[in-house]
Amino acid sequence: MDGVKHLIQCHCVLPQYRRRTNPIFHRFVVFSVIDDEDQVIPKLVSCNNCGAVHRVTEINRSEIVPHKEGTRSIITEAELAMTLPTDLVDLFRSYKVDKATWEEAVWIIDESQWGKTVTLIRESDGEEVNGKVLTYVSPGRFRVESFTRKESGE
């Protein structure tokens, strides 16, 4: 099995784009698990802007599930926090990471994917990208490292 973060598109439009003739629909990051047959394990997620419920079925693809807003079957950050070490929970809360990162952290630990990294923060000034990553070293061992790299322009 493998895990991957990817974007899905909602039907909502962020306020700054509402007056455009061709509105830009909101996209948000989700974490999906890929099974041994290279298929996404379907799951429900909620848009972080409007709350619409999506069924993720493929990488970068979902379908909106009508009349499901407020469903309690979607895993929450608080529920994910219960399965992670306290130090990691505190770190994630201090960086205000997205729910996809919380889900990825649980998956990395559950699947013993030591050596994997997740981005805690990423800042770009147009020419350079700076940030911090968390490396999962071994069970109960984590390392936070800074990085700087040139912006690729792609």
Q: pLDDT per residue over 86-131, tens digit each?
A: 999 999 999 999 999 999 999 999 999 999 999 999 999 888 999 9
19 CB-contact burial (10 Å; exposed 0-12 / middle 13-18 / buried 19+): exposed
Kindly tell me the sign of the dihedral angle through the C-alpha atoms of 94, 96, 100, 103: positive
Is residue 154's pLDDT more than 60?
Answer: no
Q: CA 76, 82, 83, 88 torsion: positive or negative?
A: positive
Please state, for a pLDDT cut of 90, what percent of the chain lies above it. 77
pLDDT per residue over 24-38, tens digit each? 899 999 999 999 999
Considering the chain, what is the average pLDDT of its residues? 92
Return the pLDDT at 153: 57
Domain ranges of the chain: 2-64, 77-150
